[in-house]
Amino acid sequence: MYTRRIFPIRGVISWTRRYILMFLIIATIPVFLFEVLRWKWLHVPWLPLGVLGTAVAFIVSFKNNASYDRLWEARKIWGGIVNTSRTWTIMVKDFITNDHAREPLSEEKRKALIKELVHRHVAWLTALRYQLRQDKPWEMHLKSTRSNKEFRDKNYTVPEDTEDLEEVIRRYISEEEFNEVFAKGNRASQLLGVQSRRLRELLQEGMIEDFRHMEMANVLKEFYALQGKSERIKNFPYPRQFATLNYIFVWVFIILLPFGIMEGFQTIGEEIVAYMNANETYWEWTRQLQLSIGKHFVWFSIPFSALLAWVFHTMESIGENTENPFEGGPNDVPISDLSRGIEIDIRQMIDDEDIPAPYEWKNHIVM
């Protein structure tokens, strides 16, 4: 199952609008000093600034590649959870029979047993996604940054923020198991432990024989491995020495950028003025207009500088908001939707009732 989220340009503009205004102000101040107050010495040679920009581009690219690798690994892990969940359901449905049972069960009780094992797996999926949505200190920028928080509150909802874990889990396991699981720390691991213990009981009862028990235990082992891989990404952040220095370098470049391009735009303006003065064949109003543009052409460096700053800063922000793929950002792995999709799929495989509906998309974003 693959979820494609659309992030339109108006969303990007809305997300970065405060920074766009800031970049315009940063670019206007040196131009005002340079042109109005005549501080003509106030500029930076383009060559060293270009070298700095090249270095910053490499650093931003490195961070974005590393962040994308974390995102893509998380997506592959949950792809494995999807496939292995289907495998588990098929095994539960076909392996649990009365062929070797010491006391054969009725068909109704056998189906109830199958339902129990499948529902407990759904409970594991639910507990895992709630654990992965928990806030970490290095993830708080998503909720604390004003632009991120506004975008999140306006455009989408994370189910784990609106649904209580205890109420959701109660739908799938018994009260005794609920009390056992919630008395421990890692609830997802505890649920797999309960599932393993139940398999041992079924082996002793003869509902499954040794080979089938071994195969089903291997599937539980795979679930433990996939959970551990998810927790590794969740609990180990992108190294902050790279992230922090990258952020500082980007802002150094943004601040110096207007000082480096002012003189170039002034030179272009002087060439326009010289060309107009040397060619009087133009209509007078056209000539005067182009002369006026040429004399004030340095002011065009403001939007150009703001555009370059916006590109570098937005690319840095994309990497920053992609490095934690489970925190609930608009471009993270949609583990809530994947979990609900798995639940619908495997419960339909056992002809279960009261199957929930898929989560609804909001503004082309699904969590």
List the one residue out of 343, 335, 349, 339 whose CA is nearest residue 119: 343
Dihedral over Cα of 121, 122, 127, 129: its sign: positive
Measuring CA to CA, how many Å separate 49 from each of 19, 39, 44? 21, 20, 7
What's the rounded Cα separation, in Å, for the pair 88 and 74?
21
Query: What pTM value is reported for the model?
Result: 0.84
> Terminus-to-terminus CA distance in the chain, angstroms?
13
Cβ atoms of 156 and 365 closer than 8 Å: yes
For the chain, 367 residues long, give each residue's pLDDT as a single digit of tens: 333 444 566 667 777 888 999 999 999 999 999 888 888 888 888 888 999 999 999 999 999 999 999 999 999 999 999 999 999 999 999 999 988 888 888 999 999 999 999 999 999 999 999 999 988 887 755 555 666 666 677 777 888 888 899 999 999 999 999 999 999 889 999 999 999 999 999 999 999 999 999 999 999 999 999 999 999 999 998 887 788 888 899 999 999 999 999 988 888 888 887 877 777 666 776 777 777 887 888 899 999 999 999 999 999 988 888 888 998 887 888 999 999 999 999 999 999 998 998 888 777 677 7
Q: Which amino acid is at 152?
A: R
Which residues are registered as beta bridge partners of 316? none
User: In this predicted structure, what is the pLDDT of residue 35?
Assistant: 87
What's the rounded Cα separation, in Å, for the pair 297 and 267?
9
Give the Cβ contact number of residue 221 at 10 Å. Answer: 12
Tokens of 258: 């207007």
